[in-house]
Amino acid sequence: MSSFLYRLGRTAARARLLVVALWVVLLAVCGGAALLASQGTDDTFAIPGSESQDALDHLGRVFPEVSGTSAQLVLVVPDGRRVDTPGNRAAVAAAVERIGSVGQVAAVVDPFGQNVTGAVSGDGRAALIAVPLEVQLADVAPATKKDLSAIAGDLAKSVGAGAQVYTGGDAFSNRVPKLSPTEGIGLLIALLVLVLMFRSLVAAVMPLVTAVLGVSVSIGLVYLATIVTPISSTAPMLAVMLGLAVGIDYALFLLSRHRDQLAEGLEVEESVARATATAGSAVIFAGLTVVIALLGLSVAGIPFLTTMGVAAAVAVALAVAIAVTLVPALMSFAGKRLRPRSPKPRKRAKPQVARWWVRTATKAPLVTVIVIVIGLALCAVPALELRLALPDNGTEEEGSPARDTYDVVAEHFGPGYNGPLIVTADIITSTDPVGLVNKLADDIRGLPGVASVPLATPNPKGDTGIIQVVPATAPDSPQTDELVNRLRDREQHFRDAYGTKTAVTGITAVGIDVSAQLGSALLPFGILVVGLSLVLLAMVFRSIWVPIKATAGYLLSVGAAFGATSFVFQQGHFAELLHVTHTGSVISFLPIILMGVLFGLAMDYEVFLVSRIREDYVHHGDPHHAIETGFVSAARVVVAAAVIMFAVFAAFVPEGSSTIKPIAFSLAVGVFVDAFIVRMTLVPAVLALLGHRAWGLPPKLDRALPVFDAEGDALVHELRLADWPGTDEAVSARALSLDDDRGQSVFRDVDLHLPHGEVLVLHGVGATGKTALLFTLAGRVTKHRGDLKVLGRVLPQHAHALRREVTVIPCRATVDPAAEVAAALADGVGLVLLDDIDVVLRTDARAALRDLLALRTASFVVTCQDPERIADLLPSTTHVRALRPQPVEVL
């Protein structure tokens, strides 16, 4: 991958104008198409297959009047007056008649009607006019809401004497998050951090420009996707938040590496290519983890959450694409202006904060680990009370029609009137549909937690009955959950007593089912994320303890973020300071989104920090020196990236919508805890405790796991060998070594130099590893150590490409080795490897081999036990190398 990114970075630098033009055109196309074709967002939360959703879908077919969304008009008279006076009744009746003729209205319930109960408040001051609509929330026409509001205004004037009419209900909800100037504070903080870090306005502005461009393209794509699938209003806002955060960070990583290389004297184009290959590899790894985690949201099996994850994943993927294409092009445009200024000589070096920090953390590592683990565990305690619920009008902005109506209904009628339940009954076999529905209603009225049953009626066809049940508690309270479960538990009782099948539905029941399914999906999603982190980090760091430590730290960060979110949004601490207007529950999909997003970000910081530590350990072998040196070299970038991401997330909290606010808060807390407490404090302490044990995999596992070069080490190795060995050779090997699955040496410290067109003989008796060495030269064995170049290709980086140019012929298992050699030469093979050539005894076969070895159209490496036995086969320019048997450990 690093080699590909190296070429991509160089290409982007050379074709910088074309790259910039292509991204601008893509932005224009996506933005224009979205403006023309977007169908708008849809906040209808559905959960296919659940009892509530199936019942709601059934009502849509047999009783459409009660299956759509609804509006409410609440008439409230001043204290000391009653709402049910004859004059008020007449005014309400006139308003009800007008409402019935409004478009999209399915029915209207006169609170003073003959068969209506519970529509006048207990204090006698308020009357509730229920207005079921024929359509879902996303399809409510602005004209419908305008007409209802106008009728409400006229009703207030008719009643007079200080009366007020509130117009609300789900039809008037407005849960679409909007960007506010407050979010710009996050970008200003990011700009300030970048200016302080780079000391260059050009370098500081570049990540912001690329992040905003990426977010704009992704939002265009999200709104364009509304043509084919419904997308919730939270999805584009989540994409904006994540796209800005990761977009700035990914560009920061590349710019930081590029400027360091420029300071070392590298030319601009070469530095751009190397930065794209090295830091770009880390960006792709980090982006890949975030994308996989976001796509993993689909495990919950809830369509709106899946589309939300896909939308956010698109934003992250675009941020990665921009980082490895547009950022290199802009770095090329900037040229030498990005080269850091030479620091002025100082008489006395100031102590480095990073060095002091890591030394403090590792001075007593066990104490550091214990304090952090216990501290974060205590921070996670409030998460035990975390309650999940979907947003309702109680989470709307204060002063909005939907929120004011919600509060008035709760005040005068009770909180349950804002989230009534619907019990459906299959009454097709009944001879008395009205009587049966009334019996069911009387039975339900006696259940604990039921405030009232204001409506019980069969549909016009008489095959389905509905009973409206008003809970005594708010829609997001645990007591309402218990009532839903209680009604569902009585399904068998209703079947036995009345011969009817029942189901519980309604917006509140759907929300409860969604929350329950999301809660049950947390464990499998957590297992997916934890397992993924263990595998990915083992691939990157070739270690067991590093992935375990990283995953444990991630879980501590998640727990602390959950605890802080519960502390504020459920328990209400600091709620006023953060402009939290509704406490008691958090949005249902917050935990699974937090786990997915924070996983990717945590792995990002882990890779950037620990890879520097590992690099120093590989070079010097001193684990404690590696911790300090690696930490100091990476700390500045990690701190800047974390501060920027924290600022972007935190900026969405003060004025953010009720839906996005808790998500942004939990992500801000999670990033802060993970970056500064876990990665920059706990990680060095754990590595100091482990010492040498932190690094290394069992040989068998090392061979089984693929290599993910997240820091471009392979490219660095390839560039180091670019001019080696100084002459054009078919095979060049230096200190080449290979161990078996038990860690025992197969061959060790082999040096080889084979000019093109010549023959090399490897010989030895016993366990010399001749065959293994041949397969290593052929690129079939890739876990070797040392430097190896075959036909101009560095191995193991280019092993796959080399295999077409090299053939291995095992003479013991081949009937006619000479024919195999001739066929390989005819196919243009550049290197032929013959194993155990001394077993070829037939005179004609040996003569054929001798002729082929003398052609010099390809290079040959042959193995045997004794070169004297094959002297007649070899040309005069043959090179001979003896291999020594490797010592075998006796167990």
Question: In which element (H, E) is residue 749 found?
Answer: strand 745-755
pLDDT for position 570: 87
Q: Does 197 share its domain with 161?
A: no
**Least confident range of 300-304, 383-387, 586-590, 704-708:** 704-708
Q: Does 498 share its domain with 587?
A: no
Q: Does 329 share its domain with 213?
A: yes
In a domain, 393, yes or no: no
Most confident of 229-243, 289-303, 354-368, 527-541: 354-368
CA 748/CA 145 separation, integer angstroms? 81
Q: Does 242 share its domain with 283?
A: yes
Q: Does 536 share its domain with 680?
A: yes
Q: Does 877 share its domain with 755?
A: yes
pLDDT for position 45: 67
pLDDT 10s digits, 222-280: 888 888 888 877 788 888 888 888 888 889 889 988 888 888 888 999 889 888 888 88
Q: Does 183 share its domain with 97?
A: no
pLDDT 10s digits, 770-789: 999 999 999 888 788 889 99
Backbone angles phi, psi at 71, to 5 degrees: -120, 165
Which of 154, 172, 190 is the last residue before a domain boundary?
172
| Amino acid, single-letter form, for residue 440 | L
Most confident of 117-121, 345-349, 670-674, 851-855: 670-674
pLDDT for position 44: 67
pLDDT 10s digits, 102-146: 888 888 888 887 777 778 888 889 998 888 888 877 778 889 999
- Helical axes 201-224 vs 181-198, angle rounded to 10°: 140
In a domain, 57, yes or no: no
CA 343/CA 528 separation, integer angstroms? 47
- Answer whether 0.85 is exceeded by the pTM: no
Confidence check: pLDDT of 53 > 80:
no
Which of 172, 201, 229 is the last residue before a domain boundary?
172
More confident residue, 829 or 197: 829
For the chain, the domain total comes to 4
Which of 117, 147, 172 is the last residue before a domain boundary?
172
Residue 837 has what DSSP assignment? G
671 falls in which pLDDT band (50, 70, 90)?
very high
Contact 600, 317 (CB under 8 A): no
Q: Strands 745-755 and 729-739: what pairing? A: antiparallel
Residue 678 has what DSSP assignment? I
Confidence check: pLDDT of 43 > 90:
no
pLDDT for position 182: 66
In a domain, 51, yes or no: no
Confidence check: pLDDT of 455 > 50:
yes
Tokens, residue 427: 């009454």
pLDDT for position 345: 47
Q: What separation, in Å, do the N-terminal and C-terminal C-alpha atoms of the chain show?
A: 41
As to burial, measured by CB atoms within 10 angstroms (0-12 exposed, 13-18 middle, 19+ buried), residue 158 is middle
Q: Does 187 share its domain with 163?
A: no
Question: In which element (H, E) is residue 204 found?
Answer: helix 201-224
Contact 332, 613 (CB under 8 A): no
Q: Residue 766 belongs to a domain with what CATH number?
A: 3.40.50.300
DSSP codes joined into one string, 384-440: GG--EE---GGGSPTTSHHHHHHHHHHHHT-GGGGS-EEEEEE-TT-S-HHHHHHHH
In a domain, 44, yes or no: no
Among 703, 699, 743, 750, smallest CA distance to 888 is for 743
Residue count (the chain): 891
Q: Does 183 share its domain with 163?
A: no
pLDDT 10s digits, 413-451: 888 888 888 888 888 888 888 888 888 988 998 899 998
In a domain, 49, yes or no: no
683 falls in which pLDDT band (50, 70, 90)?
very high
In a domain, 167, yes or no: yes
Mean pLDDT of 37-42: 75
pLDDT for position 891: 39
Q: How many CB atoms lie within 10 A of CB 267?
A: 11
pLDDT for position 298: 81
In a domain, 704, yes or no: no
Q: Does 371 share its domain with 464?
A: no
CA 701/CA 153 separation, integer angstroms? 74
Q: Residue 137 belongs to a domain with what CATH number?
A: 3.30.70
In a domain, 54, yes or no: no
What percent of the chain has a predicted confidence (pLDDT) above 70?
94
CA 691/CA 710 separation, integer angstroms? 23
Q: Does 520 share its domain with 575?
A: yes
Residue 329 has what DSSP assignment? H
pLDDT for position 348: 42
pLDDT 10s digits, 634-652: 888 888 888 988 988 888 8
Q: Does 771 share its domain with 791?
A: yes
Residue 105 has what DSSP assignment? B
More confident residue, 524 or 705: 524
pLDDT 10s digits, 145-202: 999 999 999 999 998 888 899 998 888 877 655 556 666 787 888 888 888 888 888 8
pLDDT 10s digits, 846-890: 999 999 998 888 999 999 988 888 888 888 888 888 888 876 554
Residue in this structure with the two tokens 């993993």, named with its chain if needed:
296
Domain interval for residue 284: 2-38+178-385+514-694
Tokens, residue 786: 């040392």
CA 882/CA 891 separation, integer angstroms? 28
Tokens, residue 887: 């010592």
pLDDT for position 794: 87
pLDDT for position 344: 46
State how far Cα 40 lies from the chain centre.
24
